Amino acid sequence: MPPWLAGYQPGMGESPNAVESFLQSRVAFYPGSGVVDGELFETFTAAHSVHCVLHADLMEPGSLAADIVTRKFRPYIHVAGYRPLEVQVWSADKTQTQLGLIQSHPFDQDPELQGACWSVLERESGWTDAHRPVRLAFLHVQCEAVWLYWNLWVRRHRSAPFGVLLQDHGWGGNWTSFDRNGALHKLVRRSGRLPKWLLSTPSSVWPGFLRRTEPTFRRSFPLPSQLQKGESGGIGGRALYACRPMLESRAAAV
């Protein structure tokens, strides 16, 4: 666990230092996340490979993410077994300040920044390390995801996210896709800010990534009526793909 997260106390999220510590840690990033797909959480946090998860979605507000982590309704698959140590809902202005964002967009699109939810979650008693880590930090930002990736990791020259989940939920409504033909891949390739891992279906995976696992089991779960998105949702069906340069460096080390 990152030391900053182990020593986190309620109220520390008011300082940009906590958010900077979050971004300097290993982060798993889900562009176009929605609010109920927990596969990114389950894959990377169950392996104790990351403690920090960042979702970005144009449609789902931070207040809805806050309702999920505070258990206003179920399902909360990605936070099962955790209680909120702290939850803050930020306005667009505060999100921009806390994350150090600028409005310029690398592809001349509207960033559509609306706000965010910052939360630190603590594992409940009765759950063990076999479940997931003692603490997790979760940031949900309502904004355009390519712009957020550029702002956080390219423009600020931070290390790329440890893992990225690729899934196009827009059904043709997004201005770009997240697969190899979309602007996110173009941005990542051009900047060299490549994640080490992709969690993806074969149709969405980027060139230069090799499949290392079998696809996860796809399963359905009931959606709460508050989401007004139908009676059930589904997650799963994605495999882990490793970045080829990472595999080559490991081979050279051996």
pLDDT tier at 94 (50, 70, 90 boundaries)? Answer: very high
Does the pLDDT value for residue 192 go beyond 90? yes
Q: What is the pLDDT of residues 95-142, one digit of tens each?
A: 999 999 999 999 999 999 999 999 999 999 989 999 899 999 999 999
pTM for the whole thing? 0.92
So what's the pLDDT on residue 72? 76
CA atoms within 13 A on the CB side of 183: 16
Among 120, 198, 122, 191, smallest CA distance to 153 is for: 191
Q: What HEC string does 203-227 produce?
A: CCCCCCEEECCCCCCCEEEECCHHH
- Two tokens at 25? 């840690």
Dist CA 87 CA 137 (whole Å): 10
Q: For the chain, where are the alpha helices, taking DSSP H only?
A: 3-6, 16-24, 39-46, 62-69, 92-99, 145-149, 183-191, 244-253
Q: Domain ranges for the chain, please list them.
A: 3-196
Tell me if residue 24 falls in helix, strand or coil.
helix
pLDDT tier at 63 (50, 70, 90 boundaries)? Answer: very high
* Non-local CB neighbours of 150 within 8 Å, separated by 6+ positions: 105, 106, 187, 191
Mean pLDDT of all residues belonging to the chain: 89
Dist CA 26 CA 240 (whole Å): 17
How are beta strands 52-57 and 82-91 bridged, if at all? Answer: unpaired
So what's the pLDDT on residue 75? 59
Q: What is the pLDDT of residues 24-62, one digit of tens each?
A: 999 999 999 888 788 888 899 999 999 999 999 999 999
Does the pLDDT value for residue 164 go beyond 90? yes
